[in-house]
Amino acid sequence: MAPQQLLVPQTDNIADVYATDDVSAQSVAPEIKARWQNLVKQFTETYGKKPDFVARSPGRVNIIGEHIDYNLYDVLPTAVSVDVIIAVKVVPTEGSEATVKISNVNSQKFPSREFGVPFDKDVVIDPKKHEWINYFKAGLVGALKFLRKDNPTVKPASLEIHLDGNVPPGGGISSSAAFVCASALAVIKANGHDVSKEDLLDLAVVSERAVGVYSGG
């Protein structure tokens, strides 16, 4: 009998998310709390309402097996405390396709964007055009393919998105993988579904290739 897959956990307390030396801790470091509060505050200022939820994915390092996970060989990874957090609001769809509005806490470097999500085909990603939102699009495409395995007629929800990431790009701790993984998780949850850790990993690995990046997830 195959082991039951564990779903990606959900919590109402960010103290459950960040590991500390004190297993009984009921709070997090002030700078972590301030970062989450700032994300929600900026989301509310940008869109005029509070988000429905926040999706998160941490960076990670390989303790054993660096650079072989790209080819699906076994590695021994561990998550790190830096992460990508995405505040999400599901909004009514108007018209013949869904719409995604996406913004970033670092708006000077990562300007806001808006794009359509067709009901009957994938969002197009041009890997030659280096846009920061391509990583969100990659996660979105992978998430919708996952959802359509069970229901080919799934119509994606329209979303308002605000994002913060503190995983150093190019630092060898999977900043792009964290972005794609958090994006896929956000889309799956926004469309009313849960996902197992294993399924999320599998779809994120494949999805990231849409932007020309090969990683182990």
Helices (H) and strands (E) in the chain, counts: 4, 5
- Look at the block and give the residue holding tokens 């990993």: 201
Long-range Cβ contacts of 33-42 (<8 Å, 24+ apart): 35/85, 35/164, 35/166, 36/85, 38/105, 38/164, 39/85, 39/87, 39/105, 39/162, 39/164, 40/87, 42/103, 42/105, 42/162
pLDDT band of residue 77 (cuts 50, 70, 90) is low
33 inside domain:
yes
Average pLDDT (153-166) is: 96
Judge whether residue 115 has pLDDT over 50.
yes
Average pLDDT (97-123) is: 96
Average pLDDT (202-208) is: 83
Q: Three-state DSSP class for 130?
A: coil
Q: In this prediction, what percent of the chain has a pLDDT beyond 70? A: 78
Which residue range is the domain that position 62 belongs to?
Answer: 14-211
Q: What is the pTM for the complete model shown?
A: 0.87
3 inside domain:
no
Q: State the pLDDT at residue 147.
A: 96
Q: State the pLDDT at residue 20.
A: 66
Cα-based angle 96, 163, 49 (whole degrees, multiple of 5): 65
pLDDT band of residue 94 (cuts 50, 70, 90) is confident
- pLDDT tens profile 20-50: 656 556 678 899 999 999 999 999 999 999 9
9 inside domain:
no
Average pLDDT (145-167) is: 95
The residue among 9 and 169 whose pLDDT is bigger is: 9
217 inside domain:
no
144 inside domain:
yes
Average pLDDT (190-194) is: 97
Average pLDDT (108-118) is: 97
Q: In this prediction, what percent of the chain has a pLDDT beyond 90? A: 60
CA dist 177 and 199 (Å) reads: 14
Judge whether residue 170 has pLDDT over 80.
no
CA neighbor of 51 nearest in space, from 184, 147, 186, 188: 186
7 inside domain:
no
Q: Which of 1-5, 24-28, 56-60, 65-69 has the lowest mean pLDDT?
A: 65-69
CA dist 205 and 69 (Å) reads: 10
Judge whether residue 182 has pLDDT over 70.
yes
Q: State the pLDDT at residue 52.
A: 99
1 inside domain:
no
Measured between its terminal Cα atoms, the distance across the chain in Å is 27
Compute the mean pLDDT over every residue in the chain, rounded to the nearest whole number: 85
CA dist 7 and 74 (Å) reads: 22
The tally of domains found in the chain comes to 1
CATH number of the domain residue 133 falls in: 3.30.230.10
70 inside domain:
yes
24's tokens? 């009984």
